Amino acid sequence: MSENRKELLKKYFRGRKALGEEGLWYDKKKSTMKEKLLNKLEKEVINCRRCPLGNQRINACFGSGDYSSKLMFVGEGPGYNEDHQGEVFVGRAGKLLKKIIKGVFGLDKNQVYITNIVKCHPMKDPSVPEKRGNDRPPTTQESETCIGYLYSQIDIIKPEVVVTLGSPASKTLLDSTVGITKLRGKVYEKTLGNSRVKIVPTYHPAYLLRSPSKKEETFKDTKLIKGLL
Ligand code: SF4
C-alpha cells in the first residue's frame, strides 16, 4: 500500500473516531457474528437428543435476550409454560423476574440474556406433558449432559455477571453441594466454558412466589449485582 493511501486511511478512521462511529461499526460487526453463532447453536439444541429429556419435551427452550448483555440469568430448566411456548421464563415466575429486572436495573427482559442449565423440560412423569405440577429439577446427569450448550452461550455472549436462580442452577455452576440459603449474598469468580465470570446466586422467582418473605434478601442480592455492573 502506498504511503499516500495509508495516510488517507488513517485520516478516514481518525475522522470516524472523532464522530464516535468507530465503536458503533465494530460492535455491529461483533453482534452479527454473535447472532450467527447463537442461531447455529440453537438449531443444535432443537435437534438434540443427547439425554432422555430431548424425547420427552414438547419444545426446546434455548434462551433469549440481548446477545451483548453484561448480565445473564440462569435458571434450572424449562417448566410447563416454557415447554408449551418454547421460550424461557414465560410463566408466573417469568413475570416476576421481568418485574425484578425492570424495577432494579431499569431494563426490559430482552435487554439482558436469560437461559437455563438444561434446555428441555424435566418432568416427574414424562407420559403426561399436559399435566400441571409435573415439573422437577434436572438430575445431575441431565445437567452434565446439557451444560456444554450453556458454556457455549457464555463464551459467545461474554457476560460479566451470571446470576444463578435457585439451588439447582447455583449448585451446578458453583460445583457445590451447599444450598441456596448459604450460597446467596456473595460474589464468586469462576471460569465457565472459556470465560471468566462473576457469579451471584439468588432465589428462584418461583420460590419467591411461594415464600414472599424472601424478597428482602433477594433485593439485597440485586443491589450486590448492580454494584458489579
Ligand atoms: S436437555 Fe439438553 S442435552 Fe438433553 S436433549 Fe435437551 S438440549 Fe439435549
Residue 159: band (very low, low, confident or very high) from pLDDT cuts 50, 70, 90 = very high
Query: Exposure pattern of 149-168 as b/e (b: 16+ CB <10 Å)?
Result: bbebbbebbbbebbbbbbbb
Digit-coded pLDDT (tens) for 133-145: 999 999 999 999 9
Count other C-beta atoms under 10 Å from residue 200's C-beta: 22
Residue 31: band (very low, low, confident or very high) from pLDDT cuts 50, 70, 90 = confident
Q: Whose CA is nearest to atom 2 of ligand 1?
A: 146
Q: Whose CA is nearest to atom 3 of ligand 1?
A: 146
Q: Is the pLDDT of residue 3 over 70?
A: no
Digit-coded pLDDT (tens) for 62-97: 999 999 999 999 999 999 999 999 999 999 999 999
Q: Indicate the SS3 state at residue 196.
A: strand
Position in ligand 1 atom list of the atom nearest CA 57: 6
* More reliable by pLDDT, 78 or 22: 78
Position in ligand 1 atom list of the atom nearest CA 138: 1
Q: Side chain identity at 175, as an amino acid letter? A: D
Cell numbers of 198, please? 462473576
Q: What is the pLDDT of residue 13?
A: 52
Cell numbers of 135, please? 415439573
Distance 63 CA to ligand 1 centre (A): 13
Which residue segments constitute the domains of the chain, with CATH numbers given?
48-228 (3.40.470.10)
Position in ligand 1 atom list of the atom nearest CA 48: 8
What is the residue-wise DSSP string for 83-152? HHHTSSS-SHHHHHHHHHHHHHH---GGGSEEEESSSS--BSSTT-TT-TT-B-PPPHHHHHHHHHHHHH
Q: Is the pLDDT of residue 2 over 90?
A: no
Q: For the residues 146-166, what does the mean pLDDT come to?
A: 98
Residue whose C-alpha cell reads 449485582 in the numeric block: 225
Q: Is the pLDDT of residue 109 over 50?
A: yes
Q: What is the pLDDT of residue 57?
A: 97
Q: Indicate the SS3 state at residue 26.
A: helix
Q: What is the pLDDT of residue 25?
A: 43
3-state helix, strand, coil in the chain (%, to 5): 55, 15, 35
Position in ligand 1 atom list of the atom nearest CA 122: 1
Q: What is the pLDDT of residue 108?
A: 95
Question: Most distant CA pair in the chain: distance in Å?
Answer: 72
- Compute the mean pLDDT over every residue in the chain, rounded to the nearest whole number: 91
Q: What is the pLDDT of residue 58?
A: 96
Q: Whose CA is nearest to atom 4 of ligand 1?
A: 51
Q: Indicate the SS3 state at residue 72.
A: strand
Angle between helices 167-174 and 140-157 (to 10 degrees): 70
Residue 32: band (very low, low, confident or very high) from pLDDT cuts 50, 70, 90 = confident
Q: What residues contact 105, with CB distance under 8 A and at least 6 apart? A: 71, 112, 222, 226, 229
Distance 152 CA to ligand 1 centre (A): 14
Q: For the residues 96-104, what does the mean pLDDT come to?
A: 96
Q: Are strands 188-192 and 64-65 parallel, antiparallel or unpaired?
A: unpaired
Angstrom distances, CA of residue 218 to CA of 28, 70, 100, 180: 35, 20, 9, 11
Quote the pTM value: 0.87
Distance 55 CA to ligand 1 centre (A): 9
Which residues does ligand 1 sit against, CB inside 6 Å? 45, 48-51, 53-54, 60, 118-120, 142, 145-146
Residue 6: band (very low, low, confident or very high) from pLDDT cuts 50, 70, 90 = low
Q: For the residues 171-190, what does the mean pLDDT come to?
A: 97
Pick from 82, 119, 123 the residue to mutate for probing ligand 1's pocket: most ligand atoms within 8 Å of its CB: 119
Q: By percentage, how much of the chain surpasses pLDDT 90?
A: 85
Q: What is the pLDDT of residue 9?
A: 54
